Chains A and B, each alone.
Chain A
Amino acid sequence: GNSVTQMEGPVTLSEEAFLTINCTYTATGYPSLFWYVQYPGEGLQLLLKATKADDKGSNKGFEATYRKETTSFHLEKGSVQVSDSAVYFCALSDRFGNEKLTFGTGTRLTIIP
């Protein structure tokens, strides 16, 4: 079945540091890949997505590239801010017949000034 593996947190960085959160997946077919962000006390929000190999999703300075050869979708940001502190979830959806999103366990990110 489908699965998503994320790097375990929590991750603590200083403001303006470079961020990488690793995500790898196992899936049949040709999944779409997503990163969601959850701020304290809120629901999950779609951060970015990629629907085919070599696509790069980007939003708010975050980027992730769909790498089929390594089955990865790592999240990166060049210079993090305190406001980026949140929990980040990697997820996939199988485009062929499986409507469910499969989520990773989430990575808690804390940025200190």
Chain B
Amino acid sequence: DAGVIQSPRHEVTEMGQEVTLRCKPISGHDYLFWYRQTMMRGLELLIYFNNNVPIDDSGMPEDRFSAKMPNASFSTLKIQPSEPRDSAVYFCASRTGFDGYTFGSGTRLTVV
């Protein structure tokens, strides 16, 4: 298995632009999670899905952030409009059962 695949690996964008981050979970995993990692806040859970349905989005910082999972093999996290304080590494992870997660390699977002 190729693991959890995230794209792009790096994204540099100007303030005010729309940013879309992509994630392909491991086939057969029924949970998908989006995390954000910064030096100041550590790892923050933004939202997670079960069987493509959003279960808990209480970690989404504000309405500028949205996430979708149109099918079992694809999810997006969108920021519109982006701001410099959104600069972080965004991780996608998937799992099934009670085991731990498998993380993707992350997308490093820089908003200038």
Contacts and interface: CB of A to CB of B under 8 A. Distances in A.
A36 interface: yes
A100 B48 CA distance: 8
Give the secondary structure class of B's interface. Answer: strand
Interface stretch (B61-69, B74-82, B98-106): B98-106
Interface string A51-77: 100000000000000000000000000
Contact of A51 (B55, B98, B104): B98
A107 B78 CA distance: 30
Contact of B42 (A36, A49, A99, A106): A106
Which bucket holds chain B's interface residue count? 20 to 34
Contact of A99 (B55, B102, B104): B55
Interface in B38-84: 42-43, 45, 48, 50, 55-56
Contacts of B98: 32, 51, 93, 95
B102 to A, nearest CB: 7
Most chain A C-beta atoms within 10 Å of own C-beta, residue among B42, B93, B98:
B98
B104 A89 contact: no
Nearest to B3: A43
Contact of B106 (A43, A45, A91, A100): A43
Contacts of B104: 43
A36 B100 CA distance: 9
Interface residues of A, number: 20
Interface of B: 4, 31, 33, 42-43, 45, 48, 50, 55-56, 91, 93, 98-106
Interface of A: 32, 34, 36, 42-46, 49, 51, 89, 91, 93, 95, 99-101, 103, 105-106
Q: Sorted from nearest, which 5 A-B pairs have the closest CB atoms?
A: A43-B103, A44-B103, A46-B100, A34-B100, A43-B105
Given A46-B100, A46-B102, 11 more contacts: A43-B103, A51-B98, A89-B43, A91-B100, A93-B98, A95-B98, A99-B48, A99-B50, A100-B45, A101-B101, A103-B43
28 contacts: A32-B98, A32-B100, A36-B103, A42-B105, A42-B106, A43-B103, A43-B105, A44-B93, A44-B101, A44-B103, A45-B103, A46-B102, A49-B99, A49-B100, A93-B100, A95-B98, A99-B31, A99-B48, A99-B50, A100-B33, A100-B45, A100-B56, A101-B45, A101-B100, A101-B101, A103-B42, A103-B43, A106-B42
